Amino acid sequence: MMSDKKKMSAGAEELHESLQPGSFKYIWRHLSHDSGAVVGMLCIAAILIICVLSPYIFKYDYSKISMIDKNALPSKEHWFGCDELGRDIMVRVFYGARYTLSIGVLSTAISASVGVALGSIAGYFGGRFDSILMRALDILQAFPQLVLATLVSAVLGPGLDKCIIALAISGIPGFARMMRANILNVRGQEYIEAAKSIDCSTARIITKHVIPNAISPIIVSVCMGIASSGLNASALSFLGLGVQPPEPEWGAMLSSARNLIRQYPHMAIFPGLFIMITVISLNLIGDSLRDALDPKLKD
Amino acid sequence: MSTLIEVKNLKKYFRSPRGTVHAVDNVSFNIEEGKTLGLVGESGCGKSTLGRTIIHLLDPTDGQIFYRGEDVTHPDKAKLSELRHEMQIIFQDPYSSLNPRKTLKETIEEPLILSGKFTAPGALEAESTRIMDLVGIEKRLRMSYPHELDGGRRQRVGIARALALNPKLVVCDEPVSALDVSIQAQILNLLMDLQDEYKLTYLFVTHNLSVVRHISHNIVVMYLGQIVEMCPTDELFEHQYHPYSKALLSAVPTVDIHNQKERIIMKGEITSPIDPKPECRFAQRCPYACERCLHEIPLREIRPGHFVACDRCEEINGLE
Amino acid sequence: MENEKNNKLLEIKDLEVRYRSGGRSVHAVNGVSLSVDRGEILGLVGETGAGKTTIAKSILRILPDHAIQSVSGEIIFDGEDLLKAKNNRMTAIRGYKISMIFQDPMTALNPIMPVNKQIAEGIALHMGVSKREAIERANKMLETVGISSDRGGEYPHQFSGGMKQRVVIAMALACRPDLLLADEPTTALDVTIQAQVLELIANLQKELHTAMILITHDLGVVAGVCDKVAVVYAGEILESGTKEEIFDHPKHPYTKGLFGALPDLSKKVSRLSPIDGLPPDPTNLPPGCPFAPRCPKATDECRQGAIALEALNPDHLCRCIHIDE
């Protein structure tokens, strides 16, 4: 009887330990129980899979011009129709996902890591570095993000890599500011003082107490950031500054469809639809991730 | 009884855009080992700053701190680490004083791990279990997070963390003011039991005079960074000589409905300790203030062991 | 007509309030009945989460709609059931017939509006006077609470905590309400300021003959100010009566426990007697007496059915079956 009870409680404890908030398993369990996040993840996964497999499943090439199919409406043959050069839009949309998504992921990764590092230093140590950095960011933030990205890529010139750099630079101020604010907030909490009083080293305080409590909004906004910088990448291409034709970036496709939007709306609808699906999916995942990372919402 | 901690002319100033804040200004007192000193005052009087300065969470601006007779005002790194094991703090707000991302076990074990004394297999576990027992936290809660607990339990965790290193001096910074009455009594009893068992010395910072009467052996009353009155607890509750102490005591609501005392209602509110003039800081609100109060008033011994910072003390109280 | 017959201003009968929270229903108020006469001060005492504030907010019908599962019972104010009143009728009552003071004076004032304008807003709305007249009255009200009317044009951040609470009180009393709900009005203030504010409230209450419900966790404040006391625990009134009855002859084990747990300034006891355990979870209340799990006198009978609030004498009600022991 006694040992049974013991075993049970030990089992319960194990379960508890493996499901600590912050652990990967826990986050996964939370995400997989949230219908919004599941829909988001399924959509993103589907796009990724099709985009990787696209050379094998589609019988058309993304750059193959076919004058017969010029401006063709959606049909059995071409599900999404064809563009003004007779290229299959479905193939181009899935092939283009590589560009849009990789621009989103890479530029966000760069701006988040640079921003977090700068913001952490500024927030924890304060002083002159903090004031200089903040003024510099003020200048960068005086421009709307898209305008800044446009400016940078106008200087650097068109192209995939330059587009990524432009978007990364324009994303840094947001992350740096957010991290700094989080750090300032956490730094003032009594548990940081408590850690000091039990003889924690500064390095340990930063890594064990400050950063874990300051980072979760960043993780979430990285998710949202991928969506928005994908969107900005589309906008840059739309302006002719991002990925160059004939590469089928979604924004570039929208851009070339805009002249024919009255007669052949399908050329704009499909790339637009996929931009929308991707952005919504990433936002759903980001939302759910935020809840999963907050131990206060543990059920 | 030996003196555990002695503070001499301690000052702690902060710079602010509006001037220098004299949070703690020329404060001297000592605490005997195993006793409790109650530090009383209203918000902004510098009592929390004083507590944090003594245990080196803040650096003193001027003055000296002696621990067991040794000057520890500006300790080097090794000495500071040693002092951290001797002096601990319990915070007011059990909500913000615990890291929300650490389980109780992690919070309580952290000081033990840092001390490097519990490396033998199982020693850490055994020690943390012992401490949890000591402060009355059920073992089943060790994997819980702070937000899953009520205020009283959280405060017990704060106490456990403070006691983990076996300190001699514990600064209690309003440890019960965020708790409900019935829970408050549980925590006060726990603190008193722990003091008896481990000969702890407390510096008990609070604004609640009833709590201070209950727990302290001696009392220091502070006003705007300075001590205005200092004496044994019972003595203060029998005769308060400083006009501020009188007003403070009379303002505390009592549950005795047949003996509602006459409240001394003070004029105005506590002023700010920014660049204060060299005069009695209470003079602006004091009903007895006159020109004599417009210079620095030192603390003097009116009766054996009873110190008051008031020039007109004898007149006001009819003493000779 | 009815008002002339009795002096009752507010009567709450069997008030029940349930919240929804995370799919569970929170039993915040469970069958509370109480009454307040004109010009009387009732103290509502209890610990955090006992449901004191919910009772006050349901009188004004300002509970957050999205979180409410159900509100039932009757709240009869001046012969009118407020729970059945139309919304526009409530708007007319709020701030005019009944007003409320909240715990935190810092957040109760609009930071970008001069204080006399904030007070005048309510006056102009309910008394139908011109703006200038309303400002004049607001300045007079400031004088009443001890703030020079010269400072009327200043903004909230220019006042200290105690002064802000005075402004809030002036705002609450500007339309001379019949009933004032004061939710922990002095908890955020220092003792000496608390003494000032309590004295002010007591004097104004006498002068204006306003009835008041004072919500507090501090028995000392109740002792100084109130006429009647109701002890609230887990959304139920466990004991109520005149201040003298409750403070001199507390009968309920919980009330006794509260007094025992309180360190008293006037005498030194070597050890406090805390109440063991914790208040019950409002999503999962025990059957029978909610205090039974912590009560030293509890028997099986206490844990079974609901226990009625019985009159020990006309001035003292108690919800306990073991009073005689």
pLDDT tens track for B149-207: 888 889 999 999 999 989 999 999 999 888 888 888 999 999 999 999 999 999 999 98
ipTM of the complex: 0.83
Residues of B in contact with C276 (CB under 8 A): 186
Compute the distance between CA of residue B306 and CA of residue B312 in angstroms, rounded to an integer: 15
Residue B54, exposed/middle/buried by CB under 10 A (0-12, 13-18, 19+)? buried
pLDDT at A12 exceeding the cut of 50: no
- Mean pLDDT calculated for residue range C72-100: 91
- Mean pLDDT calculated for residue range A63-74: 79
Q: What is the pLDDT of residue A2?
A: 38
Residue C324, exposed/middle/buried by CB under 10 A (0-12, 13-18, 19+)? exposed
B101 near A295, Cβ under 8 Å? yes
Residues of B in contact with A189 (CB under 8 A): 96-97
CB-nearest to A197 from B84, B93, B98 is B84
Q: What is the pLDDT of residue A156?
A: 85
Q: What is the pLDDT of residue B76?
A: 92
The pLDDT confidence band at residue C325, using thresholds 50, 70 and 90, is low
C 254-283 residues with CB below 8 A of B?
A: 257-266, 268-269, 271-276, 278
- CA C263 to chain B, closest CA, distance in angstroms equals 5
Residues of A in contact with B93 (CB under 8 A): 190
CB-nearest to C272 from B185, B257, B265 is B185
- CA A133 to chain B, closest CA, distance in angstroms equals 22
What is the 3-state secondary structure of C8-62? EEEEEEEEEEEEEECCEEEEEEEEEEEEEECCCEEEEECCCCCCHHHHHHHHHCC
- Mean pLDDT calculated for residue range A111-135: 89
- CA C306 to chain B, closest CA, distance in angstroms equals 24
Is B179 within a domain? yes
Q: What is the pLDDT of residue C278?
A: 84
- Mean pLDDT calculated for residue range C111-125: 89
Residue C123: closest CA among C110, C150, C141: C141
Contact C262 B188 (CB under 8 A): no
pLDDT at C1 exceeding the cut of 70: no
Token look-up 């200043």 returns C154
- Mean pLDDT calculated for residue range C244-271: 85
3-state SS class at A75: coil
Contact B147 A191 (CB under 8 A): no
Percent of chain A with pLDDT over 90: 11
Contact A189 B101 (CB under 8 A): no
CB-nearest to B114 from A21, A191, A198 is A198
Give the mutation candidate from B269, B272, B282 for the C interface (greatest C CB count, under 10 A).
B269
CB-nearest to B89 from A197, A212, A213 is A197
Percent of chain B with pLDDT over 90: 52
Spell out the domains of chain C, with CATH numbers in brackets.
2-97+177-318 (3.40.50.300)
- Mean pLDDT calculated for residue range C205-230: 91
Is B193 within a domain? yes
- Mean pLDDT calculated for residue range C303-320: 89
3-state SS class at B272: coil
3-state SS class at C235: coil
Residues of C in contact with B183 (CB under 8 A): 274, 278
B315: number of Cβ within 10 Å: 12
Higher pLDDT, A80 or B131: B131
- Mean pLDDT calculated for residue range C176-198: 87
Compute the distance between CA of residue B29 and CA of residue C162 in angstroms, rounded to an integer: 32
The pLDDT confidence band at residue B74, using thresholds 50, 70 and 90, is very high
Residues of A in contact with B103 (CB under 8 A): 20
- Mean pLDDT calculated for residue range A110-117: 92
Q: Which domain holds residue B181?
A: 3-231
CA distances from B109 to B81, B103, C9, C186 (A): 17, 10, 58, 39
Is B301 within a domain? no
Residues of B in contact with C163 (CB under 8 A): 269
Token look-up 């004091």 returns B286
Is B310 within a domain? no
Q: Point out which residues pair with B306 in neighbouring strands.
A: B303
Q: What's the distance, CA A24 to chain centroid?
A: 19
- Mean pLDDT calculated for residue range C156-164: 84
Q: What's the distance, CA C113 to chain centroid?
A: 28
Is B299 within a domain? no
Is B298 within a domain? no
Question: Strand order of the sheet with strand B3-16?
Answer: B19-32, B3-16, B62-67, B70-71
Contact B96 A191 (CB under 8 A): yes
- CA B138 to chain C, closest CA, distance in angstroms equals 12
CA distances from C232 to C180, C216, C238, C254, C290 (A): 19, 11, 6, 10, 11
Percent of chain A with pLDDT over 70: 90
pTM across the whole model: 0.81
A64 near A92, Cβ under 8 Å? no
Two structure tokens written together for C49:
């989460």
Query: What does residue B306 show for φ and ψ, rounded to 5 degrees?
Result: -120, 110
A233 near A170, Cβ under 8 Å? no
pLDDT at C119 exceeding the cut of 80: yes
Q: What is the mean pLDDT of chain A?
A: 81
Is B183 within a domain? yes
Residue B175, CB half-sphere, CA atoms under 13 Å: how many? 33
Q: What is the pLDDT of residue A282?
A: 87
The predicted-structure confidence for A192-239, as pLDDT tens digits, reads as follows 999 999 888 888 898 889 988 888 888 878 888 887 887 788 788 777
Q: What is the pLDDT of residue A18?
A: 44
Q: What is the pLDDT of residue A16?
A: 45
Compute the distance between CA of residue C258 and CA of residue B253 in angstroms, rounded to an integer: 15
Q: What is the pLDDT of residue B62?
A: 94
Contact B97 A197 (CB under 8 A): no
Compute the distance between CA of residue C167 and CA of residue C138 in angstroms, rounded to an integer: 10
Q: What is the pLDDT of residue B309?
A: 93
pLDDT at B18 exceeding the cut of 90: no
Q: What is the pLDDT of residue B169?
A: 95
Is B288 within a domain? no
CB-nearest to B84 from A199, A209, A295 is A199
> Which range is least confidently modeled, A50-59, A92-101, B162-171?
A50-59
Chains touching B, CB cut-off 8 Å, 3+ pairs? A, C
The predicted-structure confidence for B229-284, as pLDDT tens digits, reads as follows 999 999 999 889 999 999 888 888 888 888 777 777 777 677 778 888 888 888 88
pLDDT at A10 exceeding the cut of 50: no
- Domain with residue B179: its CATH number is 3.40.50.300
Q: What is the mean pLDDT of chain B?
A: 89
Q: What is the pLDDT of residue B241?
A: 92
Domain count, chain B: 1
Report the residue of chain C nearest B263, measured CA to CA: C195
Residues of A in contact with B87 (CB under 8 A): 197
Residues of chain A that touch chain B, judged by Cβ-Cβ distance less than 8 Å: 9, 13, 16-17, 20-22, 189-191, 193-200, 204, 209, 212-213, 295-296, 298
- Mark residue C35 as left, alpha or beta (left: phi above 0; alpha: psi -120 to 50; beta: remaining): beta
Contact B248 C191 (CB under 8 A): yes
